[in-house]
Each structure stands twice: as structure tokens, then as C-alpha cells.
Amino acid sequence: MITITEKASQHLIGLMLDEGLDPNDTYLKVSVVASGCSGLSYKMDFSNKIGSDEEIFESNEIKIISDQKSLLYIWGTELDYSSGLNGKGLVWNNPQASRNCSCGSSFSV
């Protein structure tokens, strides 16, 4: 399962509303793709469709969908939102990542 902190949830709901999407009918689609300096990167998008190979989770009012292959890499991951001195943005806390790049956008297992 993927969990989302309250701060990240508020940020994501704001993004959905900015894009004219209804948070009650919109999913956060999370996947892992081969790219980045560490080998794998997180990919996020909003969707209102669920694929036949996708699992559904809910955390802090956000409905999350992810394909089976991606779940192997991100099971147990927490998505947080940081607004600290190092910049604003969504932050992945992935217990399976053995290495992260310095910008935080890619990882390896």
C-alpha cells in the first residue's frame, strides 16, 4: 500500500481543483518507470479511469491507483509534502529504495 500524509493530501487536492478536477472522482495514478540517474523514477498523473491491472488504495482522502509491476518497487512508500528550505514539493519516502539521487526524483532498489 502507498500512504499519503495530510500535507501531501492537501497539496494534491489543491492541484486537482486547480486543474478543474473533482477530488471525489479523480485518482492519483502512481507508477515507476526506468529513467533518472539512479535507474528508476516515480511517475504521477491524475486519472478518472482504472486499468484492469491496477490496484486501488485510499489514504487521507486521496484515491491512488498503481499497476502491479510498479507496486513491487513502491509498496510501503509514503508520499509527503515538504515546504522547507530545500524547496517545496512532493517527497517520496520509499523503504525499498537502496539509493536516491540528490534531487529525489529517481531511486534504485
The per-residue pLDDT for 84 is 72
The per-residue pLDDT for 99 is 58
pTM: 0.84
Q: Which CATH class is domain 3-108?
A: mainly beta
Quote the CA–CA distance of 100 and 9 in Å, as a whole number.
Answer: 23
Q: What are the E-state strand segments in 8-86?
A: 27-34, 40-47, 54-59, 62-67, 78-84
| Domain range list for the chain | 3-108
**Tens-digit pLDDT profile for residues 36-75:** 665 788 899 999 999 999 999 999 999 999 999 999 989 9
Mean pLDDT across 66-92:
88
**Tens-digit pLDDT profile for residues 11-32:** 999 999 999 999 999 999 999 9
The per-residue pLDDT for 39 is 77
